[in-house]
Amino acid sequence: MDIIVCVKKIPDPEIPPAKFKLDMESKRVIPPEGIPPVINPYDEQAVELALRLKDKYGGKITVLTIDNDADTSIVKHALAMGADEGIVLADKAFEGSDSFSTSHILSQAIQKVGNFDLVLCGRQAADWDEGLVGAIIAENLSLPLVTLAEAVDVVDGKLKVKRVTLDGYQIFAVPTPAVATVSNEVGQPRLPSGWGIISASRKQIPIWKAGDLDADPSQIGAKAVRRRLVKLFIPVREKKCEIIEGETTAEASVKLAERLRKAGVI
Amino acid sequence: MDFELTEEQRMFRDMARKFAEQEILPTLKENERQEKFDSSIIKKMASQGLLAPHMPQEYGGLGLDYVTSAIIWEALCWASLAVTQAAMSGPIQPATNLLDAGSEQQKQKYLPPVCRGDLILSGAVVEPNAGSDSSMIETTAVRSGNHWVINGTKVFITNGEIADVVLFIAQTDKSKGLKGLASFIVERGTPGFSSKPQKGRISWRGGSEGSLRFIDIELPLENQVGETGRALRDALRGIDTARLFLAAGALGIAQSCLDASIKYAKERVQFGKPIGGHQLIQEIIAEMATKIEAARWLIYRAADLKSRGIRHIKEMSYAKYFATETALWITSQAVKIHGSFGTFDDYPVGHHYQDAITATILGGTTQMHQLTIGQQLLEMAAFR
């Protein structure tokens, strides 16, 4: 089974709050000094799901990312985990893209890669949490889409996709090729192996520019943005400590429950 | 001169650190309380490609240079030096020794399974009366027809209790002193071979040590490794590798203690502000960080010379002596910064504090390394 996985580089979600800073004027996140960006953890889980399918059915995994600095680090991370090929899409024309233009760029790249049975994306990127790219790629390529996939298998020539819901799961039979966004229920992604790191770090990663993709210039970059960011800010959270008294633990528990209900927490 | 890590080195560092967080830290506290080494970590490291980073690929290692291998050690020991040393000691000291002095048949037989984690190899030099002074080795090897007869005792042997194979040094002719020493391989199950754990340690409680007893063991002649009279020199090559990685491991525990101390000093409020805002705490943190940087570059320098096959006796002693003594100082300061909390094993600083003292002893004591440096600089020996 040949799989394409779309991955994104984001600021490390584990950075301490004190290091997270915004430029309110330009409405951008200021990259934290000394803390390198990482592969979006949800995308890393999409790579993991692709590797499980490769372990079972064989095939080839190609990893795509858009990075205007032509940074290959997260593609190499996925290769070190076990993916076969990686491509970085880098062009000044891509700068300022939103989910729609990003999806257009990725859709064009997916078509250029060609033969594939499945496209996987993380359920959302852990920086902006929009969760749109996978769905728009499916729309662009007129492919069936299953969101929040926890597991994928192959039954009778079709994909059997287990989709996570709030109170359980759904099973879909999906013809190939298809697109799925991957839920975090997939679990912990494998670590890159020593042999994978050696191979990945010495691999030449192709860089594709806008001209390589047959992309529609009106659909990419800042000029194609369809949503307007009005304000970007860090919410101020106030902490208050209130001691709930009670003669007995049971009495204090009841009072605590009443207080929490009054506060709208439960 | 480039002081930046390569992309490959960064990837190995990050992977090894995550491995340590996922596979070593979760069980460390309970294992240390029970003074238990969980040997399943050996297979896990092997399947991750971490068990034998410096060994040639033809024998199952990754074939990495010593700087990258030291970086991996630092990252793993960030969680525990004792566990890392117990897991990797086979591929480090005795396997390096075998690689240098063993016959091709011996290398093919033992090295690949050791690097795969299928076979636990221990190196045995130390005896009750022979520590830094190997001329005191009392284990005897007596030639009798077409075999050797071995008698003696070895102590403080990493994985001694669980080793499948032991590479040890014995005296073939007391009158020849160091020139009478020879190396041999003995496999568990050989009649006359026995082992037992050495428990009750106050340090290295997550590691694994045992003593070995050899009673009239008969070994075929082909079980000798290298030539008689060169055993100590051969062993020192493996010990040289162990010294590098012990230094890197000490750096790992020192870095862990600095990380924990910075975090704690920002969170712990006393006298109306975080303790990190007090000048005396800042002085300790500054000294910790500076010493760690100094140790790191001494280690990388020695590792680089070793990788390039350049003589590095003095530089390795600088690294081992300074890094382990620095770790001993830093771990104690980290416990002090944490106050009474630091004396419990819920914080990382406590178990690093316990392990740091052993790091100054294994692979040559601090005093031996000082004597080595002195000898190199003064061109005269203070010992035989």
> Which residue's entry shows tokens 């403080």?
B156
Asked whether A94 and A105 are in contact (CB, 8 A), the reply is: yes
Residue A115 backbone class (left: φ over 0; alpha: ψ -120 to 50; beta: rest): beta
- Distance between CA B348 and CA B342 in Å, rounded? 8
The verdict on a CB contact (< 8 Å) between B15 and A73 is no
| A19-33, A124-138, B26-40, B312-326: least confidently modelled range | A19-33
Cis amide leading into A144 (omega within 30) = no
- CATH architecture group of domain A3-224: 3-Layer(aba) Sandwich (3.40)
What pLDDT is attached to residue B236? 87
What pLDDT is attached to residue A71? 95
Question: What is the β-pairing status of strands B193-197 and B209-220?
Answer: antiparallel
Cβ-nearest to A194 among B18, B22, B49: B49
Cβ under 8 Å to A: B residues 49-78: 49-50, 53, 62, 64
Q: Is B258 helix (H, G, I), strand (E, B) or coil?
A: helix
Say what the ipTM of the complex is: 0.91
Q: Is B142 helix (H, G, I), strand (E, B) or coil?
A: strand
Q: What are the percentages of helix, strand and coil residues in chain A, rounded to 5?
A: 35, 25, 40
CATH number of B232-378, picked from 1.10.1740.110, 1.20.140.10, 1.20.120.1230, 1.10.3720.10: 1.20.140.10
Which residue blocks in chain A are alpha helix, DSSP H? 41-57, 73-81, 99-113, 133-141, 194-201, 210-213, 249-262
The answer, for B259 touching chain A at a CB cutoff of 8 Å, is no
CATH number of B121-228, picked from 3.30.70.360, 1.20.970.10, 2.40.110.10, 3.55.50.30: 2.40.110.10
Asked whether B87 and B45 are in contact (CB, 8 A), the reply is: yes
Average pLDDT, whole number, for chain A?
94
- Distance between CA A191 and CA B236 in Å, rounded? 35
Residue B104 confidence class, pLDDT cut points 50, 70, 90? very high
- Distance between CA A34 and CA A1 in Å, rounded? 39
The verdict on a CB contact (< 8 Å) between A191 and B22 is yes
Pick the most confident of A27-36, A237-246, B139-148: B139-148
Q: Which residues from chain B sit within 8 angstroms of residue A201, using beta carbons?
A: 6-8, 11
Q: What residues have CB less than 8 Å from B238, skipping those under 6 apart?
A: B92, B93, B94, B95, B96, B97, B100, B123
What pLDDT is attached to residue B212? 97
CATH superfamily of B7-116: Acyl-CoA dehydrogenase/oxidase, N-terminal domain (1.10.540.10)
Asked whether A161 and A172 are in contact (CB, 8 A), the reply is: yes
Q: What residues have CB less than 8 Å from B128, skipping those under 6 apart?
A: B153, B155
Asked whether B17 and A211 are in contact (CB, 8 A), the reply is: no
The answer, for A239 touching chain B at a CB cutoff of 8 Å, is no
Residue B35 confidence class, pLDDT cut points 50, 70, 90? very high
Residue B384 confidence class, pLDDT cut points 50, 70, 90? low
pLDDT 10s digits, A57-82: 999 999 999 999 999 999 999 999 99
Q: What residues have CB less than 8 Å from B50, skipping those under 6 apart?
A: A194, B15, B16, B19, B72, B76, B88
Candidates B13, B24, B47, B48, partner chain A, best to mutate (most A CBs within 10 A): B48
- Distance between CA B220 and CA A81 in Å, rounded? 45
Closest CA relative to residue B155, chosen from B206, B214, B86? B214
The verdict on a CB contact (< 8 Å) between A195 and B62 is yes
Element (H, E) at B166: strand B165-171
Q: Could you list the beta-strand ranges (E) of B237-284.
A: 269-270, 273-274
Q: Which residues from chain B sit within 8 angstroms of residue A200, using beta carbons?
A: 11
Extents of the domains making up chain B: 7-116, 121-228, 232-378
**Between vectors from CA A216 to CA A65 and to CA A93, what angle results, nearest 5°?**
55
The answer, for A19 touching chain B at a CB cutoff of 8 Å, is no
Residue B237 confidence class, pLDDT cut points 50, 70, 90? confident
